[in-house]
Structure 1
Amino acid sequence: MSRTSEWGQVLRSLAAPLLLAGLAALGGCGEAPGGAQGAASRQTPVAAAAPPSEATLKLGRDVYNFRCYFCHGYSGDAKTLAATYLDPKPRDFQGTKPEEMPVERILAAVKNGRPGTAMKGFTGILNDEEMKAVSEFVRDEFLVKRAPNTRYHTKENGWPDHERNAAAFPFAKGEIAIDTPFEQLTPPQQQGLRLFKSACITCHDHAKVNDPGKVWESRPVSFPRDAYCTSCHQDVPRSEPTGVSHPQRPATHTFAQRDGTVPVRSPARAEAQIGANYVIHDKPPVLVGASAQELKGEQLFQKNCAFCHAGDGTAKGWIGSFLEPHPRDLTSDEQMKGMTRERLLRSIREGLPDTSMPAWKSVLTDSEIEALAAYIARAFHPVEGIRTSQAAGK
Structure 2
Amino acid sequence: MAPPSEATMELGRAVWNYRCYFCHGYSGDAKTLATSYLNPKPRNFQETRAEEMPHERVMSAVRHGVPNTAMKGFTGILNDQEMEAVSQFLRQEFLVSRAKNTRYHTKEAGWPDHEQRYAKAFPFARGDIAIDTPWDKLSAEQQEGMRMFRTSCITCHDHGKVNDPGKAWESRPVSFPRDAYCSSCHQDVPRSEPKGVSHPQRPATHTFAERDGSVPVRSPTRPEAQVASNYVIHDKPPVLVNASAQELQGEKLFHRNCAFCHAGDGTSKGWIGSFLEPHPRDLTDPQQMKGMTKERLVRSINEGLPNTSMPAWKSVLSPAEIDALAAYIHKAFHPVQGMAAAPAARR
Settle same-fold status: TM greater than 0.5. yes
Select which of 351, 359, 363 maps to 2:312.
359
Distance 1:129 1:217, change over 3 A: same
- Quote the residue 2:333 is aligned against: 380
Select which of 122, 125, 129 maps to 2:81.
129
Amino acid at match of 1:373: A
Distance 1:89 1:146, change over 3 A: same
Distance in 1 of aligned mates of 2:234 and 2:335: 22
Verify: 1:100 aligned to 2:55, yes or no.
no
Amino acid at match of 2:282: D
- Quote the residue 2:193 is aligned against: none
Distance in 1 of aligned mates of 2:121 and 2:131: 13
Deviation at 1:154, TM superposition (A): 5.6
Distance 1:227 1:114, change over 3 A: same
Is residue 278–residue 318 contact of structure 1 (8 Å, CA) maintained in 2?
Answer: no
The secondary structure found in structure 2 opposite 1:319 is helix
Select which of 284, 290, 293 maps to 2:243.
290
Amino acid at match of 1:358: P
- Quote the residue 2:276 is aligned against: 323
- Quote the residue 1:200 is aligned against: 149
- Quote the residue 2:42 is aligned against: 90
The range that moved more, 294-303 or 116-125, is 294-303
What are the ranges of 5 or more consecutive residues in structure 1 without an aligned counterpart? 1-48, 230-255
Deviation at 1:325, TM superposition (A): 1.0
The secondary structure found in structure 2 opposite 1:313 is coil
Could you report, residue by residue, the CA deviation over 1:13-51 in whole angstroms, capped at 9, with x for unpaired residues?
Answer: xxxxxxxxxxxxxxxxxxxxxxxxxxxxxxxxxxxx343
- Quote the residue 1:41 is aligned against: none
Q: Which has the larger radius of gyration?
A: 1
Is residue 155–residue 161 contact of structure 1 (8 Å, CA) maintained in 2?
Answer: no
Distance in 2 of aligned mates of 1:178 and 1:332: 41
Superposed CA RMSD in Å reads: 3.6
- Quote the residue 2:4 is aligned against: 52
Could you report, residue by residue, the CA deviation over 1:187-214 in whole angstroms, capped at 9, with x for unpaired residues?
Answer: xx85674354132344244133333344
Number of residues of Structure 1 aligned to a counterpart in Structure 2: 305
- Normalised by the length of structure 1, the TM-score is 0.65
Distance in 2 of aligned mates of 1:149 and 1:380: 41
Distance 1:172 1:135, change over 3 A: same
- Quote the residue 2:197 is aligned against: none
Deviation at 1:65, TM superposition (A): 0.8
Distance in 1 of aligned mates of 2:81 and 2:247: 47
- Quote the residue 1:245 is aligned against: none
- Quote the residue 1:336 is aligned against: 289
Amino acid at match of 1:199: M
Amino acid at match of 2:15: V
Distance in 2 of aligned mates of 1:167 and 1:375: 40
Could you report, residue by residue, the CA deviation over 1:335-367 in whole angstroms, capped at 9, with x for unpaired residues?
Answer: 334433222212112222221222223332221
Deviation at 1:175, TM superposition (A): 4.7
Distance 1:257 1:112, change over 3 A: farther
What are the ranges of 5 or more consecutive residues in structure 2 without an aligned counterpart? 183-208, 217-221
Deviation at 1:57, TM superposition (A): 0.8
Verify: 1:347 aligned to 2:319, yes or no.
no
The secondary structure found in structure 1 opposite 2:274 is coil
Deviation at 1:224, TM superposition (A): 4.3
Distance in 1 of aligned mates of 2:84 and 2:163: 43
Distance in 1 of aligned mates of 2:295 and 2:65: 30
Select which of 71, 75, 84 maps to 2:23.
71
Quick one: percent identity of the two aligned structures? 64
Select which of 56, 59, 72 maps to 1:120.
72
- Quote the residue 1:279 is aligned against: 233
Distance 1:352 1:101, change over 3 A: same
